[in-house]
Amino acid sequence: EFCYLTHKTRGVRRGGAAAVDLAFVASGKVDGFWERGLEVWDIAAGAIIVYESGGVISNYPKGELDLNSGRILACSPTIEDELKRELDKVIPLNKNFYT
């Protein structure tokens, strides 16, 4: 996903902390953020901040946010559909990774 989107966009950054990345989405410093393998505490507060700032929060590649899934997609509403479409095109190296 990281490599794929790096080639499809003007750049992908990874700050290392989901809370910081979500705050950047909420503030408009970055357009979107996606991650998997997170814990509830990585997602919960940041998701509220993005939502309250007018951003979109969901699971990815599909579905509503599920704190226990470990996956999150946060972005501006203007790129939500395109970002989900592009992430959906990526075939995981390990097909059991999403389960």
pLDDT, position 3? 52
Tens-digit pLDDT profile for residues 62-73 = 788 999 988 899
pLDDT, position 7? 53
pLDDT(86) > 70: yes
For the question of whether the overall pTM of this predicted structure is more than 0.85, the answer is no
Tens-digit pLDDT profile for residues 3-47 = 555 556 555 566 678 888 899 899 998 888 888 888 999 899 899
* Preceding amide of 92 cis, omega within 30: no
Using CA atoms in the order 58, 68, 92, 50, what is the torsion angle rounded to 10 degrees? 30
Mean pLDDT of 67-81: 90
Could you say which DSSP state residue 13 is in? -
